[in-house]
Amino acid sequence: MSDQKPPAPLESGPDKSWEHFEIFKAVKDSIYSLPSRFESNLHVSGVLATDLFAFNSALSASIEEQVVISLNRLRSVWDPEENYALYDFERRPQTFPDVVLKASSTEIQPQIVLGIELKGWYVLAKENEPSFRYKVTPAVCAPWDLLVIVPWALSEVVSGRPRIFSPFVTSAHYAAEYKNWYWQNKMSGSSDKSITLSSEDGFYPSKSLKISDKPRKDSGNNFGRLARTGILDNYRTELFQERLAGISLASWQKFLAIFTETSTPAIVEAELGKLVKAMQKERPDSEKRAKLMEKMKEFAILIDED
């Protein structure tokens, strides 16, 4: 009996012959354009920098709502011919997928054209990866459904309006298959890697249905941690090179992680020294580097006063 492991699943999508394929492509392009078109009326101030991490869930939910509003505003981009004028993106918390392109009347068919499982991610959180768990079974993911992760931060780092960065976009079905493949073939730990698949197999299930796959053993509650499967590795490398207030997200993430409730002045000073050396490599130009470090010093004083 061969113990050769099966190959990793390959990403796929709807067949080009699918009648809604063009709108699928247009919506996907619109999602990638969101960073330059995103608008939010939310403004955050007066929150301790060390407390921002605790606001991740609440703020991410608000970001997700604003993303849906922004997508509807982009109708001229994804539906220039107005073939889907009677459809709107609608957010449905607690269901899968939680955003759907849905008809305004029950008399219109199909009721749902496609779905998006949308996840907001505070990109400057201490964990430099999304922490959500994606346990949905592949069978309920339509070939045209997407999983979209939208990273965000505040425009002034510790205050201001939300700013979003390049999203991670992939097939919802592929991501569901990959998380199972990873668990059974690459995950270290328990020798029992078996998974009980959900018995549901219909697209756009109601929230009362049990659509999550369950591993036989998961003492660390790690099943579904998609970021730890490696599927986002290349994306994250590129993302953390993007800049906020002229400084890379990677440097801001390391900077904010220095300030914790248990950090002593000595620890802060030592960690800042390490960050300075890293930035010397990132910004060899001494004048630009000096300006960036001055900006970080201002934030350090602000955080210390808080």
Residue type, 272: L
256-279 per-position pLDDT tens digit: 878 766 777 787 777 777 777 777
Q: Would you call 72 exposed, middle or buried from its count of C-beta atoms within 10 A (0-12, 13-18, 19+)?
A: middle
CA 175 to chain centre: 13
- Cite the DSSP H helix spans in 103-232: 172-185
Residue type, 47: V
Helices 21-32, 56-73: axis angle to 10 degrees equals 130
Return the C-alpha torsion angle 164, 33, 29, 226, nearest 10: -20
| pLDDT at res. 266 | 80
Share of the chain above pLDDT 70, in %: 86
Whether residue 215 is preceded by a cis peptide bond, meaning omega within 30 degrees of 0, is: no
| Mean of pLDDT values over 119-125 | 91
Task: Give whole-number Cα distances, 61 to 2, 5, 66, 83, in Å.
Answer: 46, 38, 9, 30
Least confident interval from 24-28, 51-55, 220-224, 231-235: 51-55
pLDDT for 255 beyond 50: yes
pLDDT for 303 beyond 60: no
pTM: 0.88
140-184 per-position pLDDT tens digit: 999 999 999 999 999 988 889 999 999 999 999 999 999 999 999
Where is 253: in which H helix or E strand? helix 249-258
pLDDT for 92 beyond 60: yes
* 98 in Cβ contact with 206 (< 8 Å): no
| pLDDT at res. 259 | 75
* Mean residue pLDDT across the chain: 88
Angstrom distance (rounded) from CA 20 to CA 66 = 25
Contacts for 69 with CB less than 8 Å, ≥ 6 apart: 39
| pLDDT at res. 291 | 61
pLDDT for 19 beyond 50: yes
| Mean of pLDDT values over 49-70 | 81
| Mean of pLDDT values over 199-214 | 96
Angstrom distance (rounded) from CA 84 to CA 75 = 9
61-83 per-position pLDDT tens digit: 888 999 999 999 999 999 999 99
- Token couple for 140: 């309920």
| pLDDT at res. 1 | 46
| Mean of pLDDT values over 16-35 | 96
Contacts for 250 with CB less than 8 Å, ≥ 6 apart: 128, 240, 241
Strands 87-91 and 99-103: antiparallel
Question: If DSSP codes are grouped into helix, strand and coil, which group holds residue 216?
Answer: coil
Band of pLDDT at residue 284, cut at 50, 70 and 90: low
